[in-house]
């Protein structure tokens, strides 16, 4: 009997992988990896390791979840060390719970290796703390996308009135509905909102507005998935704390200098 590791790869910046997560990549005989992991992490795999792509796009699944579960079980039963490499954290909207259930049902030994979830990391890279003593004493992770044909059972009134900061995953396609529901259930239309596109990657893009304005801003800027939506007064701190743009500028300037040096 082999063993499975459900590993959170973090939000994108390869430096944010945990030490244990990296070790699971290095020791794996088989790696089942998602679309949103940074491919640089696969360079740490053994040359003999089998790399299996399980990526999912909105409204299109390369591999069904049931198939992924079956692969985890099948490879482990062959005596393989299997690492399931997932973007962010495996138990935060990563279906890691479903995969762990499949492994437990089949008697496969497994471990969960937490990863940094984008609800915290993308906002941090945008200069937005999800909690702050002056602005936010509570925050919630919310999915902006439901299972196919599933009725919306999100408790919008509780989120609008009872939580200071919302980190909404997979919600770009439903952004008008999300803003409408929050305002309908008591959230002030002037509440600051940010969308962080490709959070923690070199090409990260952040746009800000309010519940009243963010839909038009996102349409104008053509912001798509993957993006994290942050709602709350803490978003206003971004203007003082936007540290990552400085690094991006330095990287761009270095690239230009290298180009000039090479060209001339």
The answer to whether residues 75 and 2 touch, using CB atoms and an 8 Å cutoff, is yes
Answer left, alpha or beta for residue 177, where phi above 0 means left and psi between -120 and 50 means alpha: alpha
Alpha-carbon Rg for the chain, nearest whole angstrom, is 20
Please pick, among 56, 63, 77, 183, the residue that the annotation labels catalytic.
56
Q: Is 34 a catalytic residue?
A: yes
The answer to whether residues 234 and 135 touch, using CB atoms and an 8 Å cutoff, is yes
Tell which residue, 239, 240, 176, 238, has the closest CA to residue 211.
Answer: 176
Query: If DSSP states are collapsed to H, E and C, what string results for 224-256?
Result: CCCEEEEECHHHHHHHHHCCHHHHHHHHHHHHH
The DSSP output letter for 8 is E
Please pick, among 13, 29, 34, 89, the residue that the annotation labels catalytic.
34
d(CA 171, CA 106): 34
Please pick, among 29, 80, 89, 170, the residue that the annotation labels catalytic.
170
The catalytic site residues sit at 34, 56, 170
């Amino acid at each position: 009997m082999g063993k499975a590791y459900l590993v959170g790869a973090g939000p994108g910046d390869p430096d944010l992988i945990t030490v244990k997560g990296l070790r699971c990549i290095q020791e794996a005989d088989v790696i089942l990896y998602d679309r949103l992991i940074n491919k640089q992490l696969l360079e740490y795999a053994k040359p003999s390791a089998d790399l299996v792509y399980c990526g999912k796009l909105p409204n299109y699944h390369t591999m069904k979840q049931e198939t992924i579960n079956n692969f985890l079980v099948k490879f482990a039963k062959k005596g393989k060390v299997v690492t399931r490499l997932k973007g962010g954290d495996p138990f935060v909207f990563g279906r890691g719970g479903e995969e762990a259930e499949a492994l437990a049902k089949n008697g496969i030994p497994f471990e969960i290796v937490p990863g940094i979830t984008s609800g915290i990391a993308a906002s941090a890279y945008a200069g937005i703390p999800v909690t702050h003593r002056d602005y936010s004493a509570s925050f919630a992770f919310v999915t902006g996308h439901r299972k196919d044909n599933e009725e919306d059972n999100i408790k919008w009134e509780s989120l609008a009135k009872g939580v200071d900061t919302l980190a909404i995953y997979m919600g770009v396609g439903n952004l008008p509905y999300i803003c409408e529901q929050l305002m309908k259930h008591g959230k002030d239309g002037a509440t600051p909102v940010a969308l962080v596109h490709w959070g923690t990657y070199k090409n990260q893009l952040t746009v800000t507005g309010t519940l009243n304005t963010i839909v038009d801003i996102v349409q104008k800027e053509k912001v798509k998935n993957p993006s994290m939506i942050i709602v709350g007064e803490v978003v206003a701190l971004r203007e003082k704390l936007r540290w990552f743009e400085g690094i991006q500028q330095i990287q761009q300037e270095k690239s230009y200098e290298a180009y000039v040096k090479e060209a001339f």
